[in-house]
Amino acid sequence: MSNAAAQSTEQGDIVEGLPIVPHMAGEFYAWLWWASEQRGAAFELPDPVGHVELWIDDRLAFRNPDDTKLSAVMTGDNPAATLEARAALAGGKVLQEIRIGVRRDDREFQATLKGPSAHLHSVKLPQLVSEGGEEVLYDRIHLYEELCFVIAGLFQEFARTRTGDSWQEEVLPALHGWILGRG
């Protein structure tokens, strides 16, 4: 676990995830969903991450903004394409969990980003080519770190966009239009 992927709670527990303020996770998840559709799944991230493809997989979970409990969960084949998912956003619900698929080079990953710190759950790593003992363990650790690296790169892209000059005048209106089915 890297320092960038862990944070302490008031109780002293270590929680894996991105070091972000809680309300930003829902914005990050919504931006990932929107940007993946706008870009046709292709993200050109700054070096060293480079080209990745990202799509919303088989789970979206929403909560009311003033609650921590889930209020709507959409699963199955492509829940991101359902009217109910957009209606949840349009109705003011906040994304609490999002299952994504990521492809980098010839490696394909799946993971659920969950909660206000975007910690990883239900991670599926690419098939291993190595056989036996420690080598398999090291390969799996390397693949997990690669997934964390890619997600951190996506978050950095979101942060650049979110703090950039175009957020208020271009991105936010486009995102709201998309939520309401206008784009």
Distant-in-sequence, close-in-space partners of 71: CB < 8 Å, separation ≥ 6: 62, 63, 64, 93
Strands (E), 17-117: 42-45, 50-63, 70-75, 94-104, 107-114
pLDDT in tens, 147-168: 999 999 999 999 999 999 999 9
Angle at 139 between CA 136 and CA 140, to 5 degrees: 85
**Does residue 22 have a cis bond before it (omega within 30 degrees)?**
no
In order along its 183 residues, the chain shows pLDDT tens digits of: 333 444 434 444 444 565 567 679 999 999 999 999 999 999 999 999 999 999 999 999 999 988 888 989 999 999 999 999 999 999 999 999 999 999 999 999 999 999 988 899 999 999 877 677 788 889 999 999 999 999 999 999 999 999 999 999 999 999 999 999 876
Residue 31, pLDDT score: 97
pTM: 0.85
Residue 80, pLDDT score: 94
Rounded to 10 degrees, the C-alpha dihedral 78/75/174/177 comes to 100
Residue 16, pLDDT score: 58
Rounded CA-CA distance 148/111 in Å is 10
Q: Count of CB atoms within 10 A of residue 179's CB?
A: 19
Residue 182, pLDDT score: 79
